[in-house]
């Protein structure tokens, strides 16, 4: 017989149950007659018998030859047994070995069993070096077995990853990395499974992860074994503020906290690079979770704040870019900046870098209002200018004011917002006062003194706006009470569903109409549908539209009630989809806004499709039918914000009959546009006052928010070729301060305003208002010489020559560059597009064309910032490449 390695020099070791099961399977599956397997091992076993393939395999100690022989003699013919012995071959002799499986002592080489577990031929050298891995793989086999490897040899990565996945309760094929480990260990059941395994095996696995996966993953496993309750994600979020990436020097409290966190990390000291790497992964997990964070992430965020308090540094939470306390601290810093103790723009940037930046729009709106207050009040010469200013500027101010009105429960922040709102209200009040004076003058001076050439009366909307689009079919949506502020929000929502906004090509701006007076529904809305100043009800409106456009249909509140399961009544859908030659205009009146301001507190509402039902399905139907959509109103409204209650005989919410003397905040109006007894009425123009009972909002007065009637025109993207003459796709309509900081400019003489055409007398049957281009004085440039010098430089001329026919006109290049340079060499895409007068979907082409001229030899003089919406010019490169001299 060939000498066996199982001699007296071979140390007997304890064996695992998994190893015994493998040997038992070999024995039961063998075709050899022997039913006993002698295994070199310590003759100790307390685990009882084994069952393999429905066969019971006894496990017995064999302490001597005589004892083993006695056992073999007494075995029944169908018995199977594994005999554990530490006796040498020579001690057992042929008397035992001749009756043993394979006639020899079997060695407990657990590695022999491993290839079979993974359906492989062998074990890789790297896996065999892990002397603990074979036992672990045998001891922790999952019910369905280990996954099959695609390689000839089982690798350490494949085997140990499968082992760790099994221990943690993950899918065995999960590709492990530090992010997966940190995320998974956020679950309590996973931490329990991990803590329950042998400490020695945990140490081996942590070491393997450290070498093969990464130190953050190993740290996560180390933290998880320290406690079942504190998650590795929470500890890693604490590490983020203890060792921030900015490299700032730690103060004494922070330094002390770094020592105290060691009891949670299990490492002393905590490796700094490991801490930073784990923190980056933790932040990425939280940021990826977003607003819909799982309970595990939410718990980790709260635990992190509690941990910081536990280690004696609660203030550390305020430095975090993901913890709630960090957001609150940043908003408080903004509040302080708004009151003059810091840089407002830097404070807002810090908020934007926080995970919770999207929780509220109030910080952005507050900064926008702060910028607006830093701008000079535009000069207006008549009511037309005032209405136009409300549409392109005041509307956005009103929207931002609503967003901050009740935005914070933090007394520090709310105090700053309140002070800001008061400053804004004061400036808006002054603007309303000027407009009220001009309204009174314009109406009292008679028809020859029109309200301006850029604004039309509400009675002219059908003729001046709807009629040019009628051939392709129009859906005319009248949102009762739609203010210019809400219109700005609605326009943004509408643009996102496949409708393209159009504006007059003379101004490339939205325009507004002026309501009839008082600005009431039964007056202004009837005047809109009838094409003349009048008063009436729903039947008058239906008759007015069908008279102006025969075959047209109008639907009011009851006509919009859809049957169960439908978004729109069949009659409305049928009207919209009917041939425009049969039904040229479909009029729809939606009362959602007017109803809301009588019943709900709308002071801080963010209006969207959800509050304006059934606007969205109406727009979808119009897109499908390729109808032009015109959204307008009958009047605007003011919102109740602690206004003063006044009393007057016969008064309604915002107006009263003529009688008592006109008080401060009131204006007397009279003339053909006033539908009141004797053609005269006294209107409130102050937003902070009302007659009668308190409501959520009011209309009927003379504030710009009430008398301005927004007019929005959209075409489906599939029907752009059918645009009406004189209308073009709209460039962005946001004012410059909405997206960009206000950069101080040196005082330069303002160009003389372009004189308006003198209005000829107009027949009142055709309305009092004209509609034409408004003269725009270009904004003074803080760096006029620099841009002019650029265009006059030799390198620029060379670049133009190289661009050939693809080069843009110099005027367009100048406008584009100046829009960026004048704003500190950084400007939002929409700001630049508005300056150039091109739709935002086309500004990318202009950017590419200007880049060809400015980016000499591939240097990024002009580039798009990492946020994807900011254009920037490198001032130093611009000066160097085009020889513009030093700063």
Q: Which of 108, 132, 163 is the last residue of a domain?
A: 108
- Note whether 541 and 525 are within 8 A (CB): yes
782 vs 710, which has greater pLDDT? 710
Q: Which of 108, 124, 143 is the last residue of a domain?
A: 108
**Same domain assignment for residues 848 and 726:** no
**Same domain assignment for residues 542 and 613:** yes
Range with the lowest mean pLDDT among 212-221, 712-721, 761-770?
A: 761-770
Q: Are strands 36-40 and 80-85 parallel, antiparallel or unpaired?
A: parallel
Element (H, E) at 106: strand 105-106
Q: Are strands 474-479 and 36-40 parallel, antiparallel or unpaired?
A: unpaired
In sign, the C-alpha dihedral spanning 779, 784, 790, 794 is positive
* Coil, strand or helix at 483: coil
**Same domain assignment for residues 788 and 723:** no
Residue 259 has pLDDT above 70, yes or no: yes
- Provide the 8-state DSSP code for 99: T
Average pLDDT over residues 863-871: 95
Return the structure tokens found at 346: 């830097």
pLDDT of residue 17: 82
**Same domain assignment for residues 583 and 723:** yes
Tell me how far the alpha carbon of residue 867 is from its chain's centroid: 13
- Provide the 8-state DSSP code for 703: S
CA atoms within 13 A on the CB side of 463: 18
Of the ranges 125-139, 365-379, 873-887, the best mean pLDDT one? 365-379
* Confidence grade of residue 601 (pLDDT, cut at 50, 70, 90): confident
* Confidence grade of residue 705 (pLDDT, cut at 50, 70, 90): very high
**Same domain assignment for residues 711 and 831:** no
pLDDT of residue 12: 59
pLDDT of residue 773: 37
The model carries a pTM of 0.82
Average pLDDT over residues 341-347: 93
In a domain, 23, yes or no: yes
- Note whether 516 and 673 are within 8 A (CB): yes
In a domain, 497, yes or no: yes
Mean pLDDT of the chain: 90
Write the CA distances from 12 to 36, 660, 685, integer angstroms.
19, 114, 101
In a domain, 465, yes or no: yes
- Block residue for tokens 């059918």: 722
**Same domain assignment for residues 871 and 794:** yes
DSSP 397-435: HHHHHHHHTT----HHHHHHHHHHHHHHHHHHHHHHHHH
In sign, the C-alpha dihedral spanning 282, 285, 289, 290 is positive
pLDDT of residue 750: 41
Tell me how far the alpha carbon of residue 179 is from its chain's centroid: 23
- Block residue for tokens 């909405």: 738
Range with the lowest mean pLDDT among 138-142, 351-355, 429-433, 826-830?
A: 138-142
Burial of 730 (0-12, 13-18, 19+ CB in 10 A): buried
The neighbour count for residue 700, using CB atoms within 10 Å, is 28
- Note whether 608 and 361 are within 8 A (CB): no
Select from 121, 159, 120, 125 the least CA-distant residue to 140: 159
Q: Which of 79, 108, 137 is the last residue of a domain?
A: 108
Q: How far apart are CA 529 and CA 556, in angstroms?
A: 12
Residue 758 has pLDDT above 80, yes or no: no
Residue 821 structural domain: 784-881
pLDDT of residue 364: 98
Element (H, E) at 253: helix 252-260
Burial of 59 (0-12, 13-18, 19+ CB in 10 A): buried
Return the structure tokens found at 309: 């308090």
* 119 Rama class: left (phi>0) / alpha (psi -120 to 50) / beta: left
* Confidence grade of residue 454 (pLDDT, cut at 50, 70, 90): low
In a domain, 540, yes or no: yes
Average pLDDT over residues 190-217: 95
Residue 749 has pLDDT above 90, yes or no: no
pLDDT of residue 784: 54
DSSP 52-94: ETTEEEEEEEE-SHHHHHHHHHH--TT-EEEEEE---HHHHHH
Q: How far apart are CA 316 and CA 300, in angstroms?
A: 16
- Note whether 761 and 448 are within 8 A (CB): yes
Report the interhelical angle of 272-289 vs 215-226 (nearest 10°): 80
In sign, the C-alpha dihedral spanning 804, 808, 809, 813 is negative
* Count of structural domains within the chain: 3
Q: How far apart are CA 755 and CA 757, in angstroms?
A: 7
- Note whether 733 and 510 are within 8 A (CB): yes
In a domain, 155, yes or no: no
In a domain, 179, yes or no: no
**Same domain assignment for residues 837 and 722:** no
Return the structure tokens found at 707: 């008398």
**Same domain assignment for residues 727 and 789:** no
Q: How far apart are CA 220 and CA 239, in angstroms?
A: 12
Phi then psi dihedrals of residue 822, to 5 deg: -70, -15
Instruction: Give the burial string for 762-801 (b: 16+ CB within 10 Å, else e).
Output: eeeeebbbbbebbeeeeeebbbeebbebbbeeeebeebbe
**Same domain assignment for residues 631 and 729:** yes
**Which residue(s) pair with 872 in the sheet?**
826, 863
The alpha-carbon radius of gyration of the chain (Å, integer) is 40
In a domain, 563, yes or no: yes
Q: For the domain that residue 793 is a member of, what is the CATH number?
A: 1.10.10
Give strand ranges (E) for 144-219. 153-154
Average pLDDT over residues 705-716: 96
In sign, the C-alpha dihedral spanning 607, 610, 614, 617 is positive
Average pLDDT over residues 140-159: 93
Q: For the domain that residue 591 is a member of, what is the CATH number?
A: 3.40.720
pLDDT of residue 293: 66
- Note whether 514 and 455 are within 8 A (CB): yes
Select from 376, 194, 193 the least CA-distant residue to 744: 376
- Note whether 51 and 170 are within 8 A (CB): no
**Same domain assignment for residues 715 and 598:** yes
**Same domain assignment for residues 476 and 616:** yes
Select from 200, 212, 193, 218 the least CA-distant residue to 142: 193
Q: How far apart are CA 793 and CA 884, in angstroms?
A: 8
Q: How far apart are CA 845 and CA 833, in angstroms?
A: 11
Burial of 3 (0-12, 13-18, 19+ CB in 10 A): exposed
* Confidence grade of residue 306 (pLDDT, cut at 50, 70, 90): very high
Q: How far apart are CA 226 and CA 194, in angstroms?
A: 10
Residue 609 has pLDDT above 50, yes or no: yes
In a domain, 354, yes or no: no
Tell me how far the alpha carbon of residue 565 is from its chain's centroid: 31
pLDDT of residue 97: 95
520-559 pLDDT, tens digit per residue, is: 999 999 999 999 999 999 999 999 999 999 999 999 998 9
Write the CA distances from 369 to 375, 390, 418, integer angstroms.
10, 15, 12
- Note whether 636 and 513 are within 8 A (CB): no
**Same domain assignment for residues 714 and 863:** no
Q: How far apart are CA 497 and CA 494, in angstroms?
A: 6
- Provide the 8-state DSSP code for 473: -
- Note whether 138 and 16 are within 8 A (CB): yes
- Block residue for tokens 């005032």: 386
């Amino acid at each position: 017989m060939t000498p066996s390695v199982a001699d007296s020099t071979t140390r007997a070791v304890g064996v695992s149950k998994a190893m015994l099961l493998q040997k038992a399977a070999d024995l039961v599956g063998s075709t050899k007659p022997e039913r006993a397997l002698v295994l070199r091992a310590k003759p100790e076993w307390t685990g009882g018998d084994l069952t393999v393939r429905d066969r019971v395999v006894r496990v017995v100690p064999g302490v001597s030859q005589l004892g083993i022989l006695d056992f073999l003699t007494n075995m029944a013919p169908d018995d199977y047994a594994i005999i554990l012995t530490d006796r040498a071959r020579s001690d057992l002799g042929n008397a035992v070995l001749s009756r043993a499986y394979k006639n020899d002592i079997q060695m407990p080489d657990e590695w022999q069993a491993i290839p079979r577990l993974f359906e492989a031929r062998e074990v890789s050298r790297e896996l065999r070096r892990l002397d603990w891995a074979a036992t672990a793989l045998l001891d922790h086999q999952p019910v369905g077995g280990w996954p099959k490897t695609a390689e000839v040899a089982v690798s350490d990565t494949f085997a140990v990853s499968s082992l760790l996945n099994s221990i943690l309760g993950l899918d065995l094929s999960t590709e492990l990395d530090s992010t997966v480990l940190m995320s998974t260990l956020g679950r309590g059941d996973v931490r329990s499974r991990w803590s329950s395994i042998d400490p020695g095996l945990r140490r081996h696995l942590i070491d393997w992860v450290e070498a093969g996966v990464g130190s953050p993953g190993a740290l996560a496993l180390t933290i998880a074994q320290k406690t079942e309750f504190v998650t590795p994600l929470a500890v890693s979020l604490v590490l983020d503020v203890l060792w921030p990436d900015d490299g700032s020097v730690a103060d004494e409290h922070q330094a002390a906290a770094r020592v105290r966190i060691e009891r949670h990390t299990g490492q002393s000291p905590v490796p700094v690079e490991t801490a930073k790497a784990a923190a980056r992964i933790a932040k990425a997990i939280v940021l990826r979770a977003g607003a819909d964070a799982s309970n595990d992430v939410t718990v980790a965020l709260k635990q992190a704040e509690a941990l910081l308090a536990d280690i004696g540094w609660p203030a550390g939470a305020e430095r975090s870019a993901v913890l709630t306390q960090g957001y609150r601290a940043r908003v408080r810093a903004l509040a302080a900046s708004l009151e003059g103790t810091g840089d407002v723009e830097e404070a807002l940037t810090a908020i934007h870098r926080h995970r919770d930046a999207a929780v509220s729009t109030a910080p952005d709106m507050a900064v926008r209002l702060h910028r607006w207050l830093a701008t000079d009040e535009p000069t207006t010469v008549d009511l037309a200018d005032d209405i136009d200013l409300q549409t392109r500027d005041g509307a956005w101010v009103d929207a931002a004011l609503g967003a901050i009105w009740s935005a914070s429960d933090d007394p520090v922040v709310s105090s700053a917002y309140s002070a800001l709102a008061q400053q804004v209200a004061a400036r808006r009040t002054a603007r309303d006062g000027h407009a009220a004076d001009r309204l009174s003058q314009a109406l009292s001076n008679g028809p020859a003194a029109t309200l301006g050439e850029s604004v039309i009366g509400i009675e002219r909307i059908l003729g001046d706006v709807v009629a040019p689009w009628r051939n392709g079919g129009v859906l005319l949506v009248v949102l009762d009470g739609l203010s210019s502020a809400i219109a700005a929000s609605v326009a943004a929502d509408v643009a996102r569903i496949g409708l393209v906004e159009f504006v007059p090509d003379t101004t490339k701006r939205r325009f507004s109409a002026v309501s009839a007076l008082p600005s009431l529904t039964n007056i202004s809305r009837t005047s809109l549908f009838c094409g003349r100043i009048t008063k009436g009800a729903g039947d008058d409106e239906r008759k007015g539209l069908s008279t102006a456009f025969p075959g047209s249909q109008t639907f009011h509140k009851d006509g919009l009630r859809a049957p169960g399961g439908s978004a729109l009544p069949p009659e409305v859908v049928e009207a919209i989809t009917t041939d425009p030659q049969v039904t040229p205009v479909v009029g729809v009146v939606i009362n959602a806004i007017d109803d809301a301001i009588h019943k709900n507190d709308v002071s801080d509402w963010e209006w969207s499709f959800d509050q304006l039902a059934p606007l969205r399905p109406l727009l979808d139907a119009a897109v499908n039918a390729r109808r032009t959509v015109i959204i307008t109103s009958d009047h605007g409204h003011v919102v109740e914000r602690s206004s003063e209650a006044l009393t007057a005989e016969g008064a309604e919410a915002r107006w009263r009959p003529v009688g008592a003397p006109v008080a401060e905040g009131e204006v007397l109006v009279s003339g053909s546009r006033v539908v009141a007894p004797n053609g005269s009425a006294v209107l409130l123009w102050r937003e902070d006052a009302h007659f009668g009972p308190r409501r959520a909002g009011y209309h009927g007065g003379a504030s710009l928010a009430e008398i301005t009637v927004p007019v929005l025109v959209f075409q489906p993207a599939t029907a752009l070729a059918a645009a009406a003459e004189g209308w073009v796709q709209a460039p962005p309509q946001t004012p410059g301060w909405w997206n960009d900081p206000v950069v101080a400019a040196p005082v330069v003489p303002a160009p003389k305003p372009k004189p308006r055409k003198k209005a000829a007398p107009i027949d009142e049957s055709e309305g009092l208002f004209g509609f034409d281009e408004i003269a725009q004085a270009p904004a003074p440039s803080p760096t006029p010489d620099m841009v002019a010098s650029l265009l006059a430089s030799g390198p620029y001329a060379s670049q133009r020559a190289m661009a050939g026919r693809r080069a843009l006109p110099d005027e367009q290049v100048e406008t584009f560059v100046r829009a960026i340079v004048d704003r500190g060499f950084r400007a939002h895409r929409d700001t630049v597009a508005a300056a150039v007068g091109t739709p935002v979907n086309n500004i990318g082409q202009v950017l590419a064309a200007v880049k060809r001229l400015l980016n000499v030899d591939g240097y990024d003089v002009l580039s798009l910032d990492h946020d994807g919406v900011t254009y920037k010019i490198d001032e130093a490169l611009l000066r160097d490449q085009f020889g513009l001299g030093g700063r």
